[in-house]
Amino acid sequence: MTIEPIGYIVLVLGALSLLNGARFAIVTLCLLTLFGAAAALKAPSLGGGSIQPSHLLVLFFVATALLRRVETQAALASITYPSPGFWFAVYIVFSAVSAFFLPRIFAGATLVYSSARDASGTMSTVASPLAPGSSNFTQAVYLLGDLACFAVISGLARLGHARLIARSLIVTAMACLGLALLDIGAFMTGQAELLDFIRNANYTMHTAETIGGFKRIVGSFPEASSYGSAALVFFTFTLLLWLERFPSRLTGLATVSVGATIILCTSTTAYIAGLLVLGLVVVLSLKRLPSGRATAPYAAFLVVTLFMVPCVIVALILIPDTWNSITDLTNITFADKLGSQSGEERTAWNTLALVSFVETATFGAGLGTVRASSFIAALLSNVGLSGTGLFAVFLYSLLTAAGRNKSDSREDRVIGVAAVSASIAQIASATISASSTDLGLLFSITAGLATGSLDRPYILPRRASRSLARPYPLEASAPRLKTPMVSAR
């Protein structure tokens, strides 16, 4: 295993997280989720796999909580029955167990597309008989890391850190915008190699592609679809916070600016998932109007989406050159996508994945065995009907948590609803183009934040509450000044 230059930076940040506690660790982890094309560590023993900076920092993030008894207890309480965390934990443990047993039980029973690396470390997808591989272990480790991140984030939210986590995600949204602008600037000036130090993972990089004359924005991710999926999470989260008047001046700016980069990234995944998210927010806004709970931003959002956008589209139709450019871009990103080589390959992956689901008697081939191009197909083919059912129960529990809303704080409720919406956006994007069942650490952060914000605050044990109430040693040792008696005469 080799440490990359960015890996040393992550190790320093991890050490600072252990010293400074949860506040520093939360902000650092959120920011590192942006570096999807970077490798902090490279493991030749695992087929040349790359460990991203955020996954390396998760070890320190969890250790930070384990070193503090109250945070550890809150994290464990967040995955107890009947909270959404319980079902998330059951789903992940089931998936990890399937990674060991199912590939051996059904070895050779079906053909699967699996991710393999050649001698140079380049990733390629080949069809081969079902058999155990290194990806079974790595995917199980990633999912267990997701669970640990979910539990710690949920526990910290129940301890009163929900606002800090929300503000960290807002700052991360602005950082996502900054990296997108840096990507565009480096491409236009011919200095794209300056970003190679954060594009050092053993992935196929699509950082210089253009469609219809438009630069496909990738930011710090390996391709436009990865950037669009991540940007959609931040757009959804900040949009809901802005609609609910969350006390931050950056929510409106982040929503508009990140939303603009989603339009310019020319990602089919981001476009389709974004339309779904906007449709859900429009329905939510319309439901709030008759009840009188809608704020002024809700009304402004409905005016923009239902009136101004259609007017702009009509105006563009009257400009033939502009409209032709837009229709050409639309045809490339939507109509011609399925007929392209990439579209045909992804269709073949999903088809064979569903065949594997049937040929393994709906049990699945085991976590990390089958590569697909849809989260649903990946679930069915890897963890089978049982694993898919467990994830569905978790999702249902997460969605209904917003309706139950056990928290007494309006701010926590707002943060929780925004986090649930961001989690839905990630699932929508994954359903269109995800190759595995791992939704990533960003999903664990938003889902954990939603679970912790919408649940009851964690009640500190009696010993912990007493220790927190004790004064600092310096304050305790300070002498008390006697107030002189004043005569009544």
The whole-number pLDDT of residue 44 equals 65
The whole-number pLDDT of residue 484 equals 40
What is the Cα–Cα distance from 258 to 23, expressed in whole angstroms? 25
| CA 364 from centre of chain | 25
Cα-based distances in Å from 145 to 63, 98, 212, 473: 12, 17, 40, 38
Q: Which whole number is the average pLDDT over 121-141?
A: 78
> Residue 318: helix, strand or coil by DSSP?
coil
Q: Judge whether 170 and 241 are in contact, CB under 8 Å.
A: yes
The whole-number pLDDT of residue 346 equals 80
Q: Judge whether 198 and 181 are in contact, CB under 8 Å.
A: no
Average pLDDT, the chain: 84
pLDDT band at 462 (very low <50, low <70, confident <90, very high): low
What is the Cα–Cα distance from 146 to 442, expressed in whole angstroms? 9
Q: Do the domain assignments include residue 327?
A: yes
Q: Do the domain assignments include residue 266?
A: yes
Reduced DSSP (H G I as helix, E B as strand, rest coil) percent helix, strand, coil of the chain, to 5: 70, 5, 25
What is the Cα–Cα distance from 261 to 266, expressed in whole angstroms? 9
What is the Cα–Cα distance from 304 to 300, expressed in whole angstroms? 6
Q: Do the domain assignments include residue 486?
A: no
Q: Do the domain assignments include residue 226?
A: yes
The whole-number pLDDT of residue 458 equals 65
What is the Cα–Cα distance from 173 to 175, expressed in whole angstroms? 5
Q: DSSP assignment, residue 480?
A: P
Would you say residue 351 has pLDDT above 80?
yes
Would you say residue 468 has pLDDT above 70?
no
What is the Cα–Cα distance from 387 to 313, expressed in whole angstroms? 44
126, 125, 137, 132: which is closest to 43 by C-alpha? 137
133, 54, 119, 204: which is closest to 371 by C-alpha? 133
Q: Count structural domains, the chain.
A: 1
Q: Which whole number is the average pLDDT over 403-425?
A: 84
Task: Report angle CA 325, 327, 331 to the nearest 5 degrees.
Answer: 120
Q: Which whole number is the average pLDDT over 17-43?
A: 90
What is the Cα–Cα distance from 159 to 153, expressed in whole angstroms? 10
Q: Judge whether 262 and 270 are in contact, CB under 8 Å.
A: yes
Q: Do the domain assignments include residue 477?
A: no
Q: Do the domain assignments include residue 430?
A: yes
* Tens-place pLDDT, residues 36-52: 888 888 876 655 677 88
**Which contiguous run of DSSP H or E holds residue 132?**
none
Q: Do the domain assignments include residue 451?
A: yes
Judged by phi (left if over 0) then psi (alpha if -120 to 50, else beta), residue 212 lies in: left
Q: Which whole number is the average pLDDT over 294-318?
A: 82
The two tokens of residue 1 are 């295993």
* Tens-place pLDDT, residues 360-411: 999 999 998 998 889 999 999 999 999 999 999 999 999 988 767 665 678 8
The whole-number pLDDT of residue 469 equals 36
Q: Do the domain assignments include residue 213?
A: yes
Supply the range of the domain harboring residue 277: 2-458
pLDDT band at 315 (very low <50, low <70, confident <90, very high): confident
The two tokens of residue 223 are 């391709």
pLDDT band at 108 (very low <50, low <70, confident <90, very high): confident
